[in-house]
Amino acid sequence: MGFTQVGFIDIEYDNLQLLEQCQIIYINGGNPFYLLYQMKKSRTDIILRDFACRGNMIIGVSAGAVVLGPNIEIVHYFTPEMNSIKLRDFKALGLTNKIIFPHYDREDLFLNSEGKSIEDRLQEYESLHNCMITRLKNNQFLISEYLIE
């Protein structure tokens, strides 16, 4: 893709001023609860907001995409057991208004004791919360503009 330099920054331990030198930030997947918690604790959320305001690109994959949206409540709905840190505030970065559901094609990741499919549960969630979920399969992506100026 023409990148001449790639660096890895751990927001829990590394100097976050390094993020300000980046042209593109790629946020990897993992546990969305832990990721969001660490982003807020380290103030990476503020750095990312400023980064976006300057017109820079942020790429989120899996949990990294979910935390860019308004909240991570959909994660709690599907996998509350992932919230091992007992996060209570599910408000995310709000850089986009898209609520992302990654791995839409992976029923094996989201088994349900009632035998409901991912789609059945997403429709149920949308109805209960009067919202629209953006479903992304593992081979799909979404390009979205920021909500901030």
Q: What is the mean pLDDT of the chain?
A: 93
Count of domains forming the chain: 1
Q: Tell me how far apart the alpha carbons of residues 71 and 54 are, in angstroms, rounded to a whole number.
A: 23
Residue 89 included in any domain: yes
Concatenate the DSSP letters of all residues of 121-145 into one string: HHHHHHHHHT--EEE--TT------
Residue 15 included in any domain: no
Residue 16 included in any domain: no
Residue 143 included in any domain: no
The pTM assigned to this predicted structure is 0.92
Strand partners, 87: none
Residue 9 included in any domain: no
End-to-end CA distance of the chain: 28
What is the domain range of residue 30? 24-135
Contact 59, 26 (CB under 8 A): yes
Would you call 62 a catalytic residue per the annotation? yes
The per-residue pLDDT for range 25-82, each reduced to its tens digit, is 999 999 999 999 999 999 999 999 999 999 999 999 999 999 999 999 999 999 999 9
Residue 41 included in any domain: yes
The per-residue pLDDT for range 82-104, each reduced to its tens digit, is 999 999 999 999 999 999 999 99
What CATH number does residue 80 fall under? 3.40.50.880
Would you call 103 a catalytic residue per the annotation? yes
Residue 34 included in any domain: yes
- Give me the catalytic one of 76, 103, 129, 144: 103
Residue 144 included in any domain: no
Cα 145 to chain center, whole Å?
15
